[in-house]
Amino acid sequence: MELKRVVVTGLGALTPVGNTVSETWNNLVNGVSGAGPITHFDASQFKTQFACEVKNFNASDFIDRKEARKMDLYTQYAVVAAKEAVTDSGLDVEKEDLNRIGVIFGVGIGGMSTFEEETGNYALHKDMGPRYNPFFIPKMIADICAGQISIMYGFHGPNYVTSSACASSSNAIADAFNLIRLGKANAIVTGGAEAAIFPCGVGGFNAMHALSTRNDAPQKASRPFSASRDGFVMAEGAGCLILEELEHAKARGAKIYAEVAGVGMSADAHHLTASHPEGLGAKLVMTNALEDAEMKPEDIDYINVHGTSTPVGDISECKAIKALFGDHAYKLNISSTKSMTGHLLGAAGAVEALACVLSVKNDIVPPTINHEEGDNDENIDYNLNFTFNKAQKRVVNAALSNTFGFGGHNACVIVKKYAE
């Protein structure tokens, strides 16, 4: 069968550097950090006391107050990003076949704050017998954000959540892309959401020695590819893309941001949390995505790398890029927007895919901030163009987004300029 072409017709974002797509993109291009002291709880006793939080967010500005109380924070973020994306796409819910529109979101952890609150209440009042909020389970479970979005619009198409740690929302985009090109849906609301900046989340990652502890300078803590990097900066938020079958989009006169060219998936099959030191899984997932897109390495102009600012991960990803792209690796722009947004865990792939779409549309590559002169790691090839500290204008015909998750889950999305 002939596969359908899939395009991006809407975008939504709620991130540590902006509560809309335009604000997020403007701050990414201008190298603005979203890091600061944790406000969700008193983190004074934790090794890490800062994160990249969403700012000035009030759910009742976007969602009916009664409905918002039934949602964990991660679901609120997902719903708000989805609302912006659907509005941006111009989809007319009154005219569309809602059986042909689905929702697929990626979530790494789910309703952590709800779980903490309910288990804490039980511990505090256990002498009175078990007392739980009737919305405890439907607020906490990781799939519910997709359910809430479908309920809000009446979308009856494919509806579920993918969970593959930090690759979750890239896997969601991949599934949405595949379902549409197979003719199973006309459009899918896809992306990812996460809200885990709470004691269990920060404490758990601290126990693994995964987080930066640069409490004296949080805005400079996420520093991918610098020798002084000491771990990732935890973040929260949501990103959303409307993927749509090309002929359906053209028939309704939709604006088209970019085309999804291909996706890839692989497993490191190596370690519970560490990526393969030689980047074998990372190389394979990029290879798979290029083959799926029927593209050559030379066709890629920009890679939005996983680039978490961890000592081992940054090195292995650089090795994978050099091994796959060869001489062309030195003609690429490479950047880690996590240097600004922090690591959004299950939402990372969606926000970074969104950044790739806007890079393709606007021919500009956002920077990797916080690199200082002389702060060089002998294991990293600085002849590669990491787009340090300042955005660069260049023609971006195609961009590749990498996401790698604990457990060795790898997912890759390629977007390119749309052309008839």
Tokens of 7: 């395009």
Active-site choice (248, 306, 371, 409): 306
**328: CATH:** 3.40.47.10
Instruction: Confirm whether 361 is domain-assigned.
Output: yes
Instruction: Confirm whether 314 is domain-assigned.
Output: yes
Q: What pLDDT, on a 0 to 100 scale, did the predictor assign at position 119?
A: 83
Pairing of the two strands 6-14 and 237-245: antiparallel
CA-wise closest residue to 398 among 410, 388, 413: 413
pLDDT 10s digit of each residue in the chain, 420 long?
A: 799 999 999 999 999 999 999 999 999 999 999 999 999 999 999 999 999 999 999 999 999 999 999 999 999 999 999 999 999 999 999 999 999 999 999 999 999 999 888 887 766 666 666 777 888 899 999 999 999 999 999 999 999 999 999 999 999 999 999 999 999 999 999 999 999 999 999 999 999 999 999 999 999 999 999 999 999 999 999 999 999 999 999 999 999 999 999 999 999 988 888 888 888 999 999 999 999 999 999 999 999 999 999 999 999 999 999 999 999 999 999 999 999 999 999 999 999 999 999 999 999 999 999 999 999 999 999 999 999 999 999 999 999 999 999 999 999 999 999 998
Give the C-alpha separation, 75 to 146, whole Å.
8
Give the C-alpha separation, 8 to 244, whole Å.
6
Active-site choice (52, 145, 166, 356): 166
**Rounded (10°) CA dihedral 405, 177, 53, 25:** 120
CA-wise closest residue to 233 among 192, 255, 205, 199: 205
Is 145 catalytic? The answer is no
Contact 278, 312 (CB under 8 A): no
Instruction: Confirm whether 375 is domain-assigned.
Output: yes
Tokens of 375: 């702060």
Q: Which helix (H) or strand (E) holds 23?
A: helix 21-29
Tens-digit pLDDT profile for residues 354-386 = 999 999 999 999 999 999 999 999 999 999 999
Tokens of 204: 């758990």
Instruction: Confirm whether 1 is domain-assigned.
Output: no
Q: What pLDDT, on a 0 to 100 scale, did the predictor assign at position 132?
A: 79
* Other CB atoms within 10 Å distance of the CB of residue 29: 20
Structural domains counted in the chain: 1
Q: What pLDDT, on a 0 to 100 scale, did the predictor assign at position 121?
A: 72
Q: What secondary structure letter does DSSP report for 63?
A: S
CA-wise closest residue to 286 among 322, 258, 337, 313: 322
Q: Is the dihedral of CA 379, 383, 385, 389 positive or negative?
A: positive
Contact 392, 299 (CB under 8 A): no
Is 306 catalytic? The answer is yes
CA-wise closest residue to 383 among 298, 338, 322: 322
Q: What pLDDT, on a 0 to 100 scale, did the predictor assign at position 166?
A: 96
Angle at 267 between CA 296 and CA 227, to 5 degrees: 80
Contact 335, 369 (CB under 8 A): no
Q: Is the dihedral of CA 249, 297, 370, 235 positive or negative?
A: positive
Is 343 catalytic? The answer is yes
Active-site choice (276, 343, 371, 409): 343
CA-wise closest residue to 347 among 190, 166, 178, 209: 166
Instruction: Confirm whether 287 is domain-assigned.
Output: yes
What amino acid is encoded at 6 in this protein?
A: V
Q: What pLDDT, on a 0 to 100 scale, did the predictor assign at position 129?
A: 67
For tokens 């590819």, name the residue: 225
Give the C-alpha separation, 154 to 101, whole Å.
9
Contacts of 2 (CB under 8 A, 6+ apart): none
CA-wise closest residue to 237 among 21, 416, 67: 21
Give the C-alpha separation, 207 to 200, whole Å.
10
For 313, phi then psi, to 5°, come to: -60, -40
Instruction: Confirm whether 143 is domain-assigned.
Output: yes
Domain span at 226: 6-416
Number of H-type helices and E-type strands within the chain: 13, 14
Instruction: Confirm whether 13 is domain-assigned.
Output: yes
Instruction: Confirm whether 107 is domain-assigned.
Output: yes
